Amino acid sequence: MLSTTFRDLAVALGLGLLVGLQKERTESPLAGLRTFAIVTWAGAISALVGEVTTDWVVSGA
């Protein structure tokens, strides 16, 4: 269970970094590398917490 948790977090972080890198290269004023990485990682953590607890999880980010 612990290895799949780390894998899921790593996949989310990697995808966030890829999207952020693409946004950095296009000079988008919306967000950058760190922002997309943090948002995808926070979403993955919220999803993992939602699996353990009830369906009503509110992210405080």
Does a structural domain hold residue 11? no
Q: Is the pTM of this model over 0.75?
A: no
Residue 12 placed within a domain: no
Residue 56 within any structural domain of the chain:
no
Structural domain boundaries, residue 41 = 17-50
Is the pLDDT at 55 greater than 70? The verdict is no
Q: Which residues touch 57 (CB under 8 Å, ≥6 apart)?
A: 46, 49, 50
pLDDT in the model for residue 50: 79
Residue 1 covered by a domain: no
Residue indicated by tokens 């990697």: 14
pLDDT digits (tens, 9 = 90+) for 3-14: 888 998 999 999
- CB of 30 closer than 8 Å to CB of 22: no
Number of domains, the chain? 1
Instruction: Examine residue 30 and state whether it is found in any structural domain, yes or no.
Output: yes
**35 belongs to a structural domain:** yes
The answer to the question of residue 39 being in a domain is: yes
The rounded distance, in Å, linking the Cα atoms of 15 and 45 is 14
32-52 pLDDT tens trace? 888 899 999 999 988 888 777
Neighbours of 42 (CB within 10 A): 15
